[in-house]
């Protein structure tokens, strides 16, 4: 049966606020869900598995108080370096987390375990090959990470990526990378995506885990202030140049370094790092705003853009 991307009419527009390490948390997720926007947080944003239990409790209590909330999700990193995967997955299964957003790694039997309790799995892909593998493993939707995305970025232009993925699978696609506005969400739909996945725009939201230092950098920076490199974590990522310099890293040197040679990609190191990643949509962060205000703004922009687009079409 085709997946209902309105989630029983609870979504105001086809948008998911993407999970972000050391940014997303239950407060953000509940705020977005209460405004009719899907949202999720990474299990590994918590320091320990016990903290993850507390955050899930907070989510369940919070959601129970909301009237017709949009769906919420947990992000699990499938990479073999994630030592908590087994325990975090077991907890998602026990609590029947409605949607699991999986990233970085092979699906193995994780998708089947989530399907067994009735959960949905949306998996990150950055190429047609990834899409083929995730599709065969039974993902319910594919999150196409295109170039310009924050966190672990894609490297392929969004038009090209969607066209390539469509050649290998008919699974629904959620588009990610560089989007910030309601007009962008509509554009993603016109491109054939069923949903837009926006992270960066929400980094400096007042409910997020981001501190005042990070918020200020986000507000002051734009796309020209980012450096794209695989040298820090081994993954393609956009880094805010001024935060590299602050940490004594010469951005020019990174350009000639081998992937992962500057810092090993351990969660513990990333947690203490003041080097900041963001997507190319960073220029749209102009102030610290609440998640609710951001969601309402994006919903209004979406409807205005839709009206403008229909008027254009009928001319
Ligand atoms: C600061 C930051 C942290 C992120 N952490 C994660 C993460 O822990 N897990 C994950 O699957 N994606 C992570 N992402 C990627 C987002 O889920 C999403 O794919 C991306 O933000 C979409 O592109 P955009 O930032 O251009 O909107 C992160 C992104 C950012 C900006």
Q: pLDDT, tens digit, for every residue of 57-97?
A: 999 999 999 999 999 999 999 998 899 999 999 999 999 99
Decide whether any atom of ligand 1 lies within 6 Å of the 181 Cβ: no
What pLDDT, on a 0 to 100 scale, did the predictor assign at position 315?
84
CB 204 within 8 A of CB 216: no
CB 5 within 8 A of CB 14: yes
Distance separating alpha carbons of residues 298 and 296, to the nearest angstrom: 6
**Dist. CA 136 → ligand 1 center (Å):** 24
Band the pLDDT of 1: cuts 50, 70, 90.
confident
Residues of the chain above pLDDT 70, percent:
97
Look at residues 74, 71, 105 and name the one whose alpha carbon lies nearest to residue 88. 74
Decide whether any atom of ligand 1 lies within 6 Å of the 154 Cβ: no
Residue range 44-67, pLDDT digits in tens: 999 999 999 999 999 999 999 999
Mean pLDDT of 191-219: 98
- Count of other CB atoms within 10 angstroms of residue 272: 6
Burial grade of 293 (CB within 10 A; 0-12, 13-18, 19 or more): middle
What pLDDT, on a 0 to 100 scale, did the predictor assign at position 266?
62
pTM of this prediction?
0.96
What pLDDT, on a 0 to 100 scale, did the predictor assign at position 264?
55
Task: Sort residue 158 into left (φ over 0), alpha (ψ -120 to 50) or beta.
Answer: alpha
What pLDDT, on a 0 to 100 scale, did the predictor assign at position 267?
62
Residue range 224-236, pLDDT digits in tens: 999 999 998 889 9
Distance separating alpha carbons of residues 143 and 7, to the nearest angstrom: 17
What pLDDT, on a 0 to 100 scale, did the predictor assign at position 240?
97
Mean pLDDT of 12-20: 98
For all residues of the chain together, what is the average pLDDT? 95
Tokens of 194: 């069923």
Ordered domains of the chain (ranges, CATH)? 15-209+280-314 (3.20.20.70), 222-272 (no CATH)
Beta bridge partner(s), residue 101: 75, 122
Among 19, 45, 125, 151, which is best to mutate for testing ligand 1, by the most ligand atoms less than 8 A from CB? 151
What pLDDT, on a 0 to 100 scale, did the predictor assign at position 236?
94
Distance separating alpha carbons of residues 227 and 264, to the nearest angstrom: 18
Q: What number does the ligand 1 atom closest to the CA of 18 have?
A: 17
Decide whether any atom of ligand 1 lies within 6 Å of the 197 Cβ: yes
Question: Per-residue pLDDT for 206 more than 70?
Answer: yes
Q: In which element (H, E) is residue 39 found?
A: strand 38-42
Residue range 247-257, pLDDT digits in tens: 999 998 888 88
Decide whether any atom of ligand 1 lies within 6 Å of the 277 Cβ: yes
């Amino acid at each position: 049966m085709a997946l209902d991307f309105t989630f029983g009419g609870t979504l105001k527009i086809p948008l998911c606020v993407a999970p972000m390490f050391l940014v997303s948390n239950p407060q953000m997720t509940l705020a977005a869900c209460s405004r009719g926007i899907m949202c999720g947080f990474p299990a590994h944003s918590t320091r320990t598995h016990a903290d993850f239990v507390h955050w899930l409790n907070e989510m369940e209590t919070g959601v129970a108080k909301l009237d017709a909330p949009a769906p919420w999700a947990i992000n699990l990193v499938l990479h073999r370096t994630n030592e908590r995967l087994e325990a975090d997955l077991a907890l998602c299964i026990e609590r029947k987390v409605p949607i699991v957003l999986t990233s970085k790694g092979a699906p193995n039997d994780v998708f089947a375990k989530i399907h067994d309790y009735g959960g949905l799995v949306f998996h990150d892909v950055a190429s047609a090959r990834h899409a083929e593998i995730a599709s065969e493993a039974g993902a319910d939707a594919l999150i196409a990470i295109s170039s310009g995305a924050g966190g672990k970025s894609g490297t392929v232009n969004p038009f090209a990526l969607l066209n390539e993925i469509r050649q290998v699978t008919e699974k629904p696609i959620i588009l990610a990378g560089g989007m910030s506005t309601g007009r962008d969400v509509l554009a993603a739909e016109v491109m054939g995506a069923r949903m837009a996945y926006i992270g960066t725009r929400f980094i400096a939201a007042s409910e997020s885990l981001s501190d005042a230092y990070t918020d200020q950098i986000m507000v002051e920076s734009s796309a020209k202030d980012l450096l794209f490199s695989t040298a820090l974590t081994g993954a393609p990522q956009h880094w805010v140049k001024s935060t590299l310099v602050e940490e004594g890293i010469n951005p020019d040197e990174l350009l000639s370094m081998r992937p992962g040679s500057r810092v090993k990609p351990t969660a513990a190191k990333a947690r203490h790092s003041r080097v900041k990643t963001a997507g190319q949509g960073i220029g749209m962060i102009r102030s610290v705003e609440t998640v609710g205000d951001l969601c309402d703004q994006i919903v209004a922009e979406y409807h205005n853009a839709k009206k403008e687009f229909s008027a254009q079409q009928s001319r």
